[in-house]
Amino acid sequence: MTLRISKQFAFSASHQLDGLPEGHQCGRLHGHNYVVEIELSAGRDQLTGPGFVRDYGDLSGFKGWLDEWLDHRHLNDATKESPTAENLAVWIYESWITVYPELTAVRVSETPKTWAEYRP
């Protein structure tokens, strides 16, 4: 049996994507109100304390990192890869898997109707 928890976080940032056809709207400088959802999982025998996959309070470090490094930033300057939702999901996962070994997925949304998910 696997138990999963998730929590959503938000930040606002700009980006501009290269390699698109001329006139593509995402090739212009623009911004989004991003939503990032991280998912953590554990087996029932791995739960901690009163029965947590991880205490939600332990995720405050992630929120602080988002606020410091991504919120109200130009993502082309903040990341090494093209700042697509897909690349952001991978980058966030790889940046946080050592802090949260229970991390099983990262979802990044640029709009309320679109998500990119990285689930290794």
Cα 80–chain centre separation: 15
Based on the residue annotation, tell me whether 110 is a catalytic residue of this protein.
yes
Based on the residue annotation, tell me whether 102 is a catalytic residue of this protein.
no
Query: Which entry of 15, 32, 102, 110 is annotated as an active-site residue?
Result: 110
Task: List, as one string, the DSSP characters of 60-102.
Answer: HHHHHHHHHHTTTEEHHHH-SS---HHHHHHHHHHHHTTT-TT
Based on the residue annotation, tell me whether 74 is a catalytic residue of this protein.
no
Query: Which entry of 26, 30, 81, 94 is annotated as an active-site residue?
Result: 26
Query: Which entry of 30, 72, 81, 94 is annotated as an active-site residue?
Result: 72
Chain position carrying tokens 């990044």: 108
Active site residues: 26, 72, 110
